[in-house]
Amino acid sequence: MIGGPLFVIAFLIEGATRAGYDPLRHPVSSLALGPYGWTQIANFVVTGLLMLLFAHGQRRALHAAGRRSTWGPLLVGTYAIGLIGAGVFVTDPVGGYPPGTPVQGVHTWHGDLHDFPFSLLVFAALAAACFVFARRFAGWGERGWAVYSAVTGVLVVIGFFLSGQAFSQVDGLGGLLQRLTIAAGWGWLTLLAIHLRTLDRMDEIIS
């Protein structure tokens, strides 16, 4: 439940206090660059580890509630591994950040690994998890959660592609679009954790 909010709060504070960093234009990953880049690297890794625990907790909670799901927790775990990898393999400078780097950016092997497979894995696995849970919730008769999950999956896919296009533009709003996408996806995970925790507690009361 704390992984998503922790990640968002950390990068919002970092983005607001870094000299030369524009939250509207620059990716969240760019915060891993520069003298204080270790804070965003830690943010990726710690959140990824928390999400791995969440994936394990999902499986247990669903099993306890009689709602077996293999692919849902597996995809959340894959998303978590993507976060850890995105932290370990630091992104390349882009859009003139850190100050003094070329606006068109540079390319390194670790930056390429950051983008593919790890960053792609984060958003692809998250969107897939949304769609899998949408189908599961529909089967469990929870229409509201089914619709919410499906809509979130669509927003993550659209947001990922739109922000990617915007990052290639000098004055694009890729940072804003990416942040909105993260808020939608990470927010869904947080609410899902709360929902599954409620199911787990109800099962304990019934037992």
The tens digit of pLDDT for each residue in 172-206 reads: 999 999 999 999 999 999 999 999 988 756 444 33
Domain extent, residue 99, equals: 3-206
Q: Give the integer Cα–Cα distance in Å for 57 and 72.
A: 12
The tens digit of pLDDT for each residue in 80-118 reads: 999 999 999 999 998 899 998 887 778 899 999 999 999
The tens digit of pLDDT for each residue in 57-73 reads: 998 888 877 787 889 99
Say if residues 174 and 163 touch (Cβ distance below 8 Å). Answer: yes
Query: Could you give the number of structural domains in the chain?
Result: 1
Supply 195's token pair.
């929902």
